[in-house]
C-alpha cells in the first residue's frame, strides 16, 4: 500500500492535443548557441513522451525527435512541408505574446569560464570554450570570427598552455574581427548588433515590469543613486 494515489507517467500531460499539429517548445538555455538565439522552436506534435512527462516532438528539417514539457500547441495548423519551407506560416497571436523567457530559472546569459584548446578549421581558428555554470559535456568549439571581446580569454589560454597564436589569412586581426557578446551596456551599444541588443534589453525591462519584479519611481530629492 502507498499513501499516494496510483499515478500514470503522463499524469500532468494533456493527451487530447491533435497529433501532427504545430507545437512551439521552449529551448533550454544549455541548447542555445548564444544569447540572441530564439528561446523557442517549432515542431510537429507526435503525442505524449515515452520516457518522461512531456510531449514527443519532431523537427522535420533536422529530422530529430525530442521530448519537451514546456509546449504551446496550435491545433489550427497541422502537418505540411510548407510550414518549414520558404513560405512563412500564419502565427497565432497567443504564441507571439507568450514569454518563453519566463520559463528560465537561471539568468539568460552565457559567460566564458576559460578556453580549453584550440585548432584551425577551414582557414579559421576555433577555440574549445568552457562556459561558466556548465560542465565539460557542454564545451563547444567556437570560431574566432564569432566573438568580440575574446582576447583576454585567449591570452590566458596561451600563457597557461605555452602555445602561440598566429591569425590565419581569413582572420587578419583577432581583436577587431572577433565578435563576442558584450560585457557591458556601453559595449552592446557600440557593437554591430546594437539594434538587436537594444530590442533584447527593452524586452527584458518590459518583462520585469509586467511581472511586478520592479517598478519605475522618481528619484528622491537629495538622495544618491547607487548602481
In the predicted model, is pLDDT for residue 87 greater than 50? no
**Per-domain residue ranges for the chain?**
21-103, 112-210
Strands 55-59 and 112-121, by their bridges, are unpaired
Instruction: Read off the pLDDT of residues 167-184 as tens digits, 9 standing for 90 and up.
Output: 544 444 444 444 557 777
Nine-digit cell at 109? 546569459
CATH of domain 112-210: 2.40.50.40
Is the Cβ–Cβ distance between 44 and 65 less than 8 Å? no
pLDDT at 34: 73
Instruction: Read off the pLDDT of residues 112-170 as tens digits, 9 standing for 90 and up.
Output: 788 888 877 666 677 888 877 888 887 877 766 545 446 677 778 877 877 776 654 44
In the predicted model, is pLDDT for residue 200 greater than 60? yes
Amino acid at each position: 500500500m502507498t499513501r499516494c494515489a496510483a499515478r500514470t507517467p503522463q499524469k500532468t500531460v494533456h493527451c487530447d492535443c491533435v497529433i501532427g499539429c504545430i507545437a512551439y517548445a521552449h529551448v533550454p538555455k544549455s541548447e542555445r548557441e548564444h544569447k540572441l538565439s530564439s528561446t523557442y522552436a517549432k515542431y510537429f506534435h507526435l503525442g505524449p513522451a515515452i520516457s518522461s512527462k512531456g510531449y514527443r516532438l519532431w523537427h522535420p528539417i533536422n529530422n530529430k525527435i525530442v521530448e519537451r514539457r514546456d509546449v504551446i500547441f496550435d491545433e489550427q495548423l497541422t502537418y505540411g512541408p510548407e510550414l518549414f519551407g520558404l513560405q512563412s506560416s500564419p502565427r497565432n497571436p497567443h504564441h507571439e505574446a507568450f514569454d518563453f523567457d519566463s520559463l528560465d530559472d537561471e539568468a539568460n546569459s552565457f559567460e566564458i569560464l576559460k578556453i580549453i584548446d584550440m585548432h584551425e578549421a577551414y582557414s579559421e581558428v576555433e577555440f574549445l570554450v568552457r562556459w561558466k555554470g556548465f560542465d565539460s559535456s557542454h564545451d563547444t568549439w567556437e570560431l574566432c570570427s564569432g566573438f568580440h571581446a575574446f582576447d583576454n580569454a585567449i591570452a590566458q589560454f596561451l600563457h597557461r598552455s605555452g602555445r602561440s597564436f598566429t591569425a590565419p589569412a581569413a582572420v587578419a586581426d583577432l581583436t577587431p574581427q572577433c565578435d563576442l557578446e558584450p560585457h557591458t551596456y556601453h559595449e552592446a551599444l557600440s557593437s554591430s548588433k546594437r539594434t538587436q541588443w537594444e530590442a533584447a534589453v527593452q524586452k527584458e525591462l518590459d518583462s520585469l515590469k509586467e511581472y511586478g519584479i520592479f517598478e519605475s519611481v522618481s528619484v528622491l530629492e537629495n538622495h544618491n543613486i547607487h548602481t
